[in-house]
Structure formats: structure tokens, C-alpha cells
Structure 1
Amino acid sequence: MKALTTGQVVALSTAEAAALSTAQVAALTTAAVAALETADLAALKTAAIAVLSTAQVSSLTTSQINNLATSALAALSTAGIGALTTQQVVALTSGQFASMSTAQVAALTSNSIGAIETADLTGLSTNHIAALRSAQLAGLTTGQVASLSTQQVVALTTAAFAGLSTAQIVALTTAQASVLSTAQVSALSTAAIAALETADFAALSTNAVVTLSVNQIKALTSDQVVALTTTEAAALNSAQVAALSVSAVAALETATWPRSRPRSPTWAPRKWRP
């Protein structure tokens, strides 16, 4: 079957475009695909949309992308979704993003993730967010991180959350920090723990704080240690207490620590009440 030329594609009526077979659509050159008028592209069968190659998908204009029906977008293969350029991702509407399957969202590249506009990102469902991998989250800008709803933050898998950079951790809001699970906090690197802003660290749940590993405790800054509540301080085990740095202990507010805690040889004696 001879492929249609760009000129022939431009001359197609909407009815003729709707009648194109999957074989005819698959045979179109990238130039021909880009030449499809918006109405003609919308008229293609979903089966025809599904056979578009990665090269054909990448050749779609931003106007064509913006005008794709959600049913047509849903028909794109995961490979096709993965081939979207950052300009094409920017052209997608919130409604189009919301209509994507979790498999399609999981197929987006990190560059594409970073190109998602804030309104579109916040419109993703928790299922979409849960489908994101660590490598994809690396593409999030600090502005995007801060824009995530608390429900979306909760939906992040432990593995994905653990992959956030220190800059992304710094970008977390206090409200976001307050909903982090013990698993998410436990998965953070020592550098990420130390990067938590004091207000964000103070917002962590007591369960999240008391389950910090010895290495994570060692990484705490003096300001973070001072932010511990009496309940949190009292719940630390002996290994965690011994892991506190001398500078962190020296910065402790006396009121933070219960009188009943036994002394540790690593602690500054003058900070203890008789």
C-alpha cells in the first residue's frame, strides 16, 4: 500500500480521515502526521491512534496535542507517551492529564515530568502519583514539589520518595512534612534528613521521629534536635540518644528533656538537671 503524501493528507476531508485504516495511518510520514488538520486528527479511529509510532507521536504539533480528545490520548501506547517532547507535555491540558492511565503516567520521562505545569500536576490522581518511579521524580522542580497536595505526597511510594534530592526535600512545605509516613521518613538518606528545614522536621509525626535510624539521628542538626518535643525525646531509645552529636546535645533546650532520662557519657553534664 502506497503511503499518502503530505499534500494528500492536507487535502483529506474529515470523513476521509475517519476512514483511514490502521495500516494507512502507520505508513504516514512524520511530516504527513504533522500536516493532519486538527479535525482530521480527531476523526482518526482510536485503533489508528494506537498504532502511531514514537516518531509519529513526536512529530505532532503542540496544537494537535492540545486538541486531542481524551479518548484519543488514552489510545496512545505507553511508548508513544514516553516519546512526547517537553513542548508537547506543556501543551497537554489538565483534563488530558487526568484522563491518562497509570501506565501512561509511569511511561513519562523525567524531562516530561519536569515540564508538567503546576495546575496539571496537582490535577493528577493519587493513583497517578503512586505510579511514579524514583527516576521520574528526579525531574520534578522544587516548585512542583512544593505544589503537591498532601494527599499526593502520601501517595508517593517509599522507594520514589527516598530518591528525592536534598533540594527537593528543602522544597517540602510544613503541611507536606506533617503527613509523611514513618516508612517514607525512614527511607530518607542522612543527607536528606539533615536537609529538612527545622519547621518541617518539627512537623513530622512522633512515630516518624522515634523510628529514625541511628545514622539518621547522627545526621540531625542542632536546630532539629532542639525542635524535638518532650514526647519525642522521651521515646528515643538508648542507641538513638547515644547517636546524638555533642553539638546537638549542647544545643538542647533543657525543657525538652525529661528529668528521668539516665545520663549518657556522651552528654554534656551541665544540660542535665539534678
Structure 2
Amino acid sequence: MIELKTPAEIQRMHVTGRFVAEVLTEVGDLADVGVNLMDLEHHARGMIKRRGAESCYWDYEPSFGKGPFRNVICLAVNDAVLHGLPHDYTLRDGDVLTADLAVKIDGWAADSARTVIVGTAAEEDLRIIRATEEALEAAIEAARPGNRLGDISAAIWAVARDYGYPVNTQFGGHAIGREMHEELHVPNKGKAGRGLTLKPGLTLALEPWFARTTDKIIFDEDGWTIRSADGSRTAHSEHTVAITDDAPLVLTRRDRE
């Protein structure tokens, strides 16, 4: 069942979204050469505990995972892009790091992701990050009442196509609200004018992610970390967005964006 949220409920999600944005900003600032992924994990844990928030990832156990996820943030490096399991890895110059975070505050969830470059940035890495960011903004712009779900998917796909990146449709965006994943999948590729009609009160996590030269994925032995099948580098951008009577409301927008 797809639940439409009231303006008051959206405001409660916005409180959560601002906190998610704060954590991702700090994690991005801390990501530097010589920093261990577990340092970032523990920093996020501390922020969540002090805020009295609840991690949506801790004990998360979907069908594709291997046992419950026992971390509060997904951290994926280089060819890894989704569900990156934090582990003992020290960041190196030029690494591409994706941080993905979902939490609840007072029963309402928000979910966001960003990709940053550690140290020296290669132009091709900047380019794929820029593509996901532009695709996300295009998806947000399409998230208006009266449009269709396919309009969002088509907007993401159009940006990927312009940049020359293939698109995987196994994992994409989703509805969100009382739970991190609610009923509704938002593919990153689709046809305009198709699918569910968007209505005010619908809240979605929109998350374009691309690999440079493939739309195929593989899983690490940890059962969680998803990588590009050919080892090419990846990027992922995500925001939680509320569809309103007016413009789309981005609930996880970071101050520097």
C-alpha cells in the first residue's frame, strides 16, 4: 500500500532529512587519505546515538544480504557502489567513496547518499559523480503532481545517455516514510508518461547510480557490497524528496549544495 503523507508528516521527515544531511556532510569532510572506513562508521554511530536517532541499516536483513547488516552507514569504494559494508580499509589518494545513510527520528525515515573523491581527483571520476548529481536534479524536477513515475525514470536515463553511461535497473529508488523501503520501486531507466501518477504527499528516495562502462553488477563475499561487474568506477547520488502541491521538497538537501 502506498501511503501519502500529510504536510505535518512531511515536516517530521524533513527533521530526519536535515540530520541525515548533517551526518553525510561530516563523513565527506572526514574522508581523507589515511582514514579507515571503520573510523567513518564509528563517527556516524556517535552522531546517531547523540541525536537519539535510529539506524535503518542496523539489523537490516533483506533477501539479498548475508545475515543482518551490523553497521549504520554504507561505505563503498571505487568499483563498489551500493550497500558497501564498512570494513578495515584505509582510504588512498584518488579513491572514490560513496556514503549512503538512512535513519529514523521519532518514527520517520530519510535516506541520502553522496560520492566524494579522496585526495587527488581524476577527471573521469569527477565526470561520473557530476552525471549522478545532474540525473538526481533532473529526477527531482520531474517529481511533480500529475507527472508519472516513468517521467522520473526517464529523466535519470536521459542524463545517463547523454554522458554515455549504461544504467542498471535491478536497484534504484523507492518510496520511504515510516520505513526506509516502502512499496514502490523507482527504476533509473524508463519511459516518460508511464506508471503511477504522482500525487502530493508521496515521498520518494531517488537515487541514480552509474558505473562507467557496465550495467552489470556482482556481490562481494560479504553478501552486501555491490560492485560493477567489470571493475569500472562508480558513483551514487540520492535524496529523499516529497511531492507537494508546489515544487518538489528535498528533505535531505545539504547546506553546501
Query: As a proportion of its length, which structure holds more helix?
Result: 1
TM-score range, shorter chain: under 0.3
* TM-score between the two structures when normalised by the length of structure 2: 0.20
Larger radius of gyration: 1
Q: Which has the higher contact order (CA 8 A, sep 6+)?
A: 2
Answer 1 or 2: which has greater strand percent.
2
